[in-house]
Amino acid sequence: MTGGSLADRVVLVTGSSRGIGAEVAVKAGAEGATVAVHYHRSRAGAERTIERIRAAGGAADAFEADVADGAQAEGLVAQVLERHGRLDGLVNNAGRTLVGPFLETSADTWEEVIRTDLTAAFHTCRAALPSMLERGSGSIVNLASRLAQMGVAETAAYSAAKAGLLGLTRALAKEFGPRGIRVNAVAPFVTVTDMTAGLVDSNEGSRRLRDAALGRFGRADEVADTVLFLLSDVSSLYTGQTLNPNAGAYMP
C-alpha cells in the first residue's frame, strides 16, 4: 500500500469499534479513505477507533445500528450515503460467535446468530449496491471464518452462517462483476482480540493451535491487511475469492 490507495473513497466497516473491524477502519483511514465507523453498543469504542484514524491522518465519523435488525442495517447504509453522497467500500465485519452443543442451541439463539453473521450482510449489500452500480465500481469484503470451510464441533450456528456468507460472496460476485463491482471474502483463523481472549488461553485454544502450520494465532492488524488489499485497486482481478490469513490452519 502507498498510503493513498483509498484516497477520495468512502468505506463503511461494520463492527469497527474493536477487534478486526477497528484495525480495518484505521488502516483504511491511513490509506486515505473517509471511514464510516459502525458500532452497536460501544460508542466509546467507536470514538477510540475514530481517534486512531484521525491520528493516522484519516477522516471518520460514527454510526450506530443493530445490524441484526434488517431495517437498521439498511438504514445504516442510507445514513452513510446521506452524509457522504457515495459508498465505495463495504466491509461486513460485525458478527457474533457461538460455541456450545448443538442440541442445547435454542431456535432463538440460532436465528440471532444467522441474522447477525449472515442476514445482516444481505441487507447492507442490498442497500449499498445501487450506489456502487451508479458509478460502476465498488468493493465489498465479507469477513467469514475458517470454521465455514471445515467441520468443528459445537460451532453449528456460527459455521453455518459463515458458510452462507461465502455462498453469498460468490453469488454476488457473479451477478455484479460484469458491472464493475468486486465481492470477496476473508476467512481468518483464530485471531487474538478481546473477544477471543478466553479461547486463546483455553485448552480448546491449545488444541486449535496445533492445526496452524505457523504455530501461532493471527493478529487483528494482519487480517486487516488482507481486507485492505481487497478494498484497493491492487486486487483488481480478485472477485468471488476467499482469502485465508489463517497461519496454515486450513489449506483448501
Q: What is the C-alpha separation between 207 and 202, in angstroms, rounded?
A: 9
CB atoms within 10 A of CB 224: 27
Residue 182 three-state SS: strand
Strands (E), 144-198: 181-186, 191-192
Query: Which residues neighbour 118 within 8 Å (Cβ) at sequence distance 6 or greater?
Result: 161, 162, 164, 165, 168
Domains of the chain: 10-240 (3.40.50.720)
pLDDT at 3 over 90: no
The widest CA-to-CA distance across the chain, in whole angstroms, is: 50
Contact 191, 220 (CB under 8 A): yes
pLDDT-based confidence at residue 56 (cuts at 50, 70, 90)? very high
Instruction: Give the chain's count of helices (H) and strands (E).
Output: 9, 9
The pLDDT of residue 197 is: 63
The pLDDT of residue 2 is: 65
Q: Extract the C-alpha cell encoding 105.
A: 442451541
The pLDDT of residue 1 is: 64
Taking residues 127-131, report their average pLDDT.
98
Taking residues 74-100, report their average pLDDT.
96
Asked if 158 is an active-site residue, the reply is: yes
pLDDT at 204 over 80: no
| pLDDT one-digit tens code per residue, 216-251 | 998 999 999 999 999 999 999 999 999 999 999 999
Mean pLDDT across the chain:
94
95, 210, 211: which is closest to 158 by C-alpha?
95
Taking residues 209-214, report their average pLDDT.
91
Question: Helix, strand, coil proportions of the chain in percent (round to 5)?
Answer: 50, 15, 35
CA distances from 149 to 3, 10, 121, 124, 186 (A): 33, 31, 19, 23, 11
pLDDT at 166 over 70: yes
The pLDDT of residue 202 is: 77
Indicate which residue of 39, 158, 238, 250 is catalytic: 158
The pLDDT of residue 196 is: 63
Taking residues 106-114, report their average pLDDT.
97
Taking residues 169-176, report their average pLDDT.
98
Residue 183 three-state SS: strand
